[in-house]
Structure 1
Amino acid sequence: MHRTHLGRTGLTVSRLCVGTMNFGWQIGEEESHAVLDRAVELGLDFVDTANMYGSETGDGLSERFLGSWFDKSGRRDDIVLATKVYAPMSDRPNDRGLSARNIIASCEASLRRLRTDWIDLFQLHHVDRRTGWDEIWQAMETLTHQGKIRYAGSSNFAGWHLVRAQEAADRRHFLGIVSEQCRYNLLQRHVELEVLPAAAELGVGILPYSPLHFGALSGALRKQREGIAGRAVLHAPDRVEPHRSAIERYEQLCARIGLDPVTVAIAWLLARPEVTAPIIGPRAAAQLDLPVAAVSTVLDADTMAALDEIFPPVGNGGPGPEAWAW
């Protein structure tokens, strides 16, 4: 398994990150453990979760499943563990957002569910326009000094949010944000305008989620024809139909070059210089094989150009303002 540094840090991670959003919501504890066992066999050591994943009433099943796997496998030291804070975890008004109170309380609750003493990457799951950065960084500094977290990351931030966050961290002589988790795939390329350029300038590693656009880029049309159940069928009306023509051309291109659509979509992301590790969300251990194949797949210039033609970038392509200005 190829490895890289997480943003500007000295921490190394596998080029794929195992996302656990399906744990608790789509699959049970035993199936979740099987996914993690297979991931480790394949050399994947980067695992992402969130306090809200698998949660119905604040129970955080995804984190609990990871915690029970750590106890059973003894693999905690082998894993770079990421989780998140922001989403409501109860009806109480202070059990949400990025107040210092909630950041610290959520971290401690996640540690209990995960059955670990530390979180490697503690991510701000969304922007909180009501809370100032000095308050946010004060809480993150406290957790860092206590040894409960190692690094801070963000998710769903705009480019200017990254800049403001880092400016405030620099004033406090704090490391700041080292990674940004954003929705990024062949069908959704808007982050290329400002998020990716800002991240590159600041040394922030990009962790794309939904790399297959909810299954639309996984060979969805073929699966529909063959009656294969899965997300490609479940999300067909919303995720596939609006892009049917492009997806048809995409699947034809993949067939011509002899690669599975899953592998191509993830290999395309891995070729982007700003990307640290795409986040994959398997519901079964076997679903790890095609993404792992992408790590050693190099798409040639003709294929990259064909993908740009099928899935055009926003505007003129590349970062703003050139993407929309002369």
Structure 2
Amino acid sequence: MDYTQLGRSGLSVSRLILGTMNFGTETSEQDSHTIMDRAHEHGINFFDTADVYGGGRTEEIIGRWFATGGGRRDRTVLATKLYLPTGEWPNDSRLSALHIKRACDASLQRLGTDHIDVYQMHHIDRNTPWEEIWEAFSVLRQQGKVLYFGSSNFAGWHLALAQEAARARHLLGLVAEQSIYNLLNRWAELEVLPAARHYGLGLIPWSPLHGGVLGGVLRKRKEGGASRGDSGRSVQTLAKHRETIEAYEKMCARLGEDPADVALAWLLAQDGVTGPIVGPRTVEQLNGSLRALAITLDEATLARLDELFPPPGPNGAKPAPEAYAW
């Protein structure tokens, strides 16, 4: 396993991140425990979850896995998230100081641990001032309940606001931003990725296969297998980009690589990316994702991927504002 620093922090994390959203919903508790054990066997030490996954059950499953001992908690860099509603009352969501305190304590209890390594805001809260957020976060850090803080689904402007507010309080601020980023959705390249690089945040892509569309969905159809790309919003995405996906899968076949592995390898090759989140439902899916670490995409392949999946903006392959202006 390859490791890297999480942003400008001194924290070392694996270049593949285990996503746990399926635990307790798509994946049984026993299988979830097996997946986490296998992740450690492969050297994956960075686990991502959230207080709302499985209605809180996902965190409980992870907590019971920690409780089995064997150094599992000590070997894990644990990240969870808050923001989304965990109840029906007004302060059961968002980023007020009250909800931050309650949400953190509830996650710690479900996870069966005394601290969270990376506590992430699941979304921007436009109604809570940054002074309040950083004060509440500072209390958690002083109490030893949280070590680092991160964000998710922030715009570049939001990252700048967060970091400048932290700087004014002489705080480390955010160390990571978790953003949707993949070959089919490259909007992060306009402002989020440049802002993350500027402020020393590691970028953690979620949905690296765009709901399974980049995971070889057409090939799996021909083989009679099931795919995430055959359900939900992925059906519309595939219909819209079918010719591109066909060309992509043909290119991957010529390379002798699985489309999912190429999609992950492309993210790993992007400057500023810490590592993509892989959310396996089975041990086999986890094992398969490791191949991406061994793939090196040459310049011709990267150029072909840019042709198939152009960067956003009429001027392409440039950050804002050059992507859409002179």
TM-score range, shorter chain: over 0.9
Match of 1:255 among 244, 253, 256: 253
Q: 1:72 Cα shift?
A: 1.4
Match of 1:135 among 101, 126, 132: 132
Q: 1:73 Cα shift?
A: 4.0
Matched, 1:161 2:158: yes
The corresponding residue for 1:202 is 199
**Contact 1:223–1:232, Cα closer than 8 Å, also in 2:** no
The corresponding residue for 1:8 is 8
Match of 1:244 among 211, 223, 242: 242
Match of 1:282 among 276, 280, 294: 280
Q: Partners in 1 of 2:194 and 2:84 — Cα distance?
A: 27
Letter of the aligned partner of 2:318 in structure 1?
G
Match of 2:296 among 295, 298, 307: 298
The corresponding residue for 2:46 is 46
Identical amino acids, percent of aligned pairs: 56
Name the count of aligned residue pairs: 322
**Contact 1:246–1:310, Cα closer than 8 Å, also in 2:** yes
Q: Partners in 2 of 1:238 and 1:124 — Cα distance?
A: 29
Gaps of 5+ in 2: none
The corresponding residue for 1:228 is 225
**Contact 2:229–2:235, Cα closer than 8 Å, also in 1:** no
Match of 2:109 among 107, 112, 123: 112
Matched, 1:174 2:174: no
Q: Partners in 2 of 1:73 and 1:29 — Cα distance?
A: 16
> Following superposition of structure 1 onto structure 2, how do residues 59-78 of structure 1 map, counting pairs within 5 Å?
60-74=56-70, 75-78=72-75
TM-score, normalized by length of structure 1?
0.97
Letter of the aligned partner of 1:67 in structure 2?
G
Letter of the aligned partner of 2:35 in structure 1?
V
Moved over 4 A (4+): none
**Is the deviation greater in 32-41 or in 76-85?**
32-41
Q: Partners in 2 of 1:69 and 1:275 — Cα distance?
A: 29
SS of residue paired to 2:241 = helix
SS of residue paired to 2:98 = helix
Q: Partners in 2 of 1:238 and 1:281 — Cα distance?
A: 22
SS of residue paired to 1:101 = helix
Letter of the aligned partner of 1:305 in structure 2?
A
The corresponding residue for 1:314 is 312
SS of residue paired to 1:319 = coil
Alpha-carbon displacement from aligned partner over 1:244-295 (angstroms, at most 9, x marks no partner): 1110000000000111111100000000011001001000011012321111
SS of residue paired to 2:117 = strand
Letter of the aligned partner of 1:169 in structure 2?
A
Q: 1:238 Cα shift?
A: 2.3
Q: 1:27 Cα shift?
A: 1.3
Q: 1:241 Cα shift?
A: 1.5
Letter of the aligned partner of 1:176 in structure 2?
G
Give the RMSD, CA atoms, in angstroms.
0.9
SS of residue paired to 2:113 = coil
Letter of the aligned partner of 2:291 in structure 1?
A
TM-score, normalized by length of structure 2?
0.97
